């Protein structure tokens, strides 16, 4: 029985037993999947792709659903995508930090991908991406039956101010501006929220020379997907800021494969880069009072901003296109 259950199923069992929602990483070994998996030097489990099922066209980076040799199904973010390896670095550091702070995130694995397993895929754009992604890629456990969270629809998921506060606080810490009412990057699975898509976080790593100025920067959070859920950001700050320690950050940055930490001016080695992430995020957590988000847009304000954006878009179009929405 135990061997037949995937890790995601065990997370649900845990939830039902009241075990909380901070699943420890690498549970696979405990539940009998060790035999099919290979541990890499980085600490993330490595699996091999057996079959490419389909592209997820909702995602700008064209992630794909892939079956692997551990009997798992993963959403794979490809190393050959235009977003580049930094998006994968951001996914690993932020997802694994979120997990250790008690937020719900899918399991991450490294997926060894041979484009031959997708020979049947007819779309030439997808084929180009897959051919450029032979070798190591990043997989996140596919959540079967999950749906994208719609902030305005308060039907089947309860989000408490405490939970909303922790998620908003976390996004502000890691500079994730890609969890808005327009693009929530939250999934509802078994009536709970799960965080996905952190590739746009850690904005500072796109220009390390400017990173010191970003340590205490405030990021625009007023249109956060959970801004309407009375987020208790101050409570989250008291609970979470002390937990973002140098030791914890070293643990999560160690999970990034060396090959995705490409040399940068002044940061020649993967080790130097890891330390740069650690010291930046530790310093930022220590200065949280300077960047705590507040002032979330009301539904009326959101509607007004949306109307203004639509008007500006239409005004930029030729007369014959002005009646077309979107
Ligand atoms: N772990 C998962 N389980 C099930 N569905 C998922 C999972 N991860 C992503 N999806 C689905 O795929 C869509 C795209 O995923 P994601 O947002 O991570 O891709 P992306 O390429 O980074 O997209 P974006 O255009 O937002 O940058 C999600 O909105 C969701 O519907
Ligand atoms: Mg997304």
Domain range list for the chain: 2-144, 148-301
Higher pLDDT, 285 or 152: 285
From ligand 2's centre to the CA of 60, what distance in Å? 7
Residue 102 near residue 24 (C-beta atoms within 8 A): no
Beta bridge partners of 110: 46, 138
Cβ of 58 less than 6 Å from ligand 1: yes
Residues 135-163 have a mean pLDDT of 92
- The pLDDT, as a whole number, for residue 9 is 39
- The pLDDT, as a whole number, for residue 3 is 36
Three-point CA angle 55, 102, 256, nearest 5°: 55
Three-point CA angle 256, 98, 51, nearest 5°: 55
Question: What digits encode the pLDDT tens for the residues 200-211?
Answer: 999 999 999 999
Question: What digits encode the pLDDT tens for the residues 126-136?
Answer: 999 999 999 99
Cβ of 53 less than 6 Å from ligand 1: no
Q: Which residues contact 8 (CB under 8 A, 6 or more apart)?
A: 106, 107, 141, 143, 144
- The pLDDT, as a whole number, for residue 317 is 82
- The pLDDT, as a whole number, for residue 23 is 39
Cβ of 263 less than 6 Å from ligand 1: no
From ligand 2's centre to the CA of 297, what distance in Å? 21
Three-point CA angle 216, 99, 40, nearest 5°: 110
- The pLDDT, as a whole number, for residue 270 is 96
Out of 8, 11, 63, mutate this one to test ligand 1's pocket (max ligand atoms within 8 Å of CB): namely 63
Cβ of 60 less than 6 Å from ligand 1: yes
CB-based neighbours (< 5 A) of ligand 2, an ion: 185, 197
Atom index in ligand 1 nearest the CA of residue 146 equals 4
Structure confidence at residue 27 as a pLDDT band (50, 70, 90):
very low
pLDDT at 71 over 50: yes
Question: What digits encode the pLDDT tens for the residues 86-109?
Answer: 999 999 999 999 999 999 999 999
From ligand 1's centre to the CA of 197, what distance in Å? 6
Question: What digits encode the pLDDT tens for the residues 301-323?
Answer: 999 988 898 888 888 887 777 77
Q: Of 276, 171, 277, whose CA–CA distance to 218 is shortest?
A: 171
């Amino acid at each position: 029985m135990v061997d037949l259950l995937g890790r995601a199923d065990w997370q649900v069992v845990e939830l039902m037993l009241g075990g909380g929602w901070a699943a420890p990483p690498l549970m696979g070994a405990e539940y009998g999947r060790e035999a099919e998996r290979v541990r890499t030097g980085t600490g993330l489990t490595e699996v091999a792709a057996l079959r490419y099922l389909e592209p997820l066209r909702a995602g700008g980076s064209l992630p794909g659903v892939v079956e692997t040799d551990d009997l798992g199904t993963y959403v794979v973010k490809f190393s050959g995508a235009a977003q580049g390896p930094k998006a994968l670095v951001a996914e690993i550091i932020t997802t694994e930090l979120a997990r250790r702070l008690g937020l719900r995130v899918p399991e991450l694995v490294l997926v060894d991908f041979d484009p031959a397993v997708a020979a049947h895929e007819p779309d030439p754009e997808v084929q180009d991406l897959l051919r450029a992604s032979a070798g190591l890629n990043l997989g996140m456990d596919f959540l079967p039956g999950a749906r994208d969270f719609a902030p305005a629809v308060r039907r089947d998921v309860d989000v408490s101010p405490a939970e909303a506060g922790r998620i908003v606080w976390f996004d502000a810490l890691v500079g994730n501006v890609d969890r808005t009412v327009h693009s929530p990057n939250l999934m509802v699975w078994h009536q709970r929220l799960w965080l996905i898509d952190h590739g746009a976080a850690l904005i500072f790593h796109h220009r390390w020379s400017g990173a010191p100025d970003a340590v205490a920067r405030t990021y625009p959070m007023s249109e956060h997907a959970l801004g309407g859920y009375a987020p208790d950001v101050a409570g989250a700050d008291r609970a979470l800021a002390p937990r973002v320690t140098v030791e914890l950050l070293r643990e999560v940055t160690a999970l990034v494969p060396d090959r995705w930490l490409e040399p940068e001016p002044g940061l020649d080695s993967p080790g130097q880069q890891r330390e740069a992430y650690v010291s930046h995020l530790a310093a930022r957590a220590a200065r949280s009072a300077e960047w705590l988000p507040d002032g979330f847009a009301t539904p009326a304000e959101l509607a007004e901003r949306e109307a203004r954006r639509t008007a500006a878009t239409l005004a930029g179009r030729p007369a014959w296109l002005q009646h077309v929405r979107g």
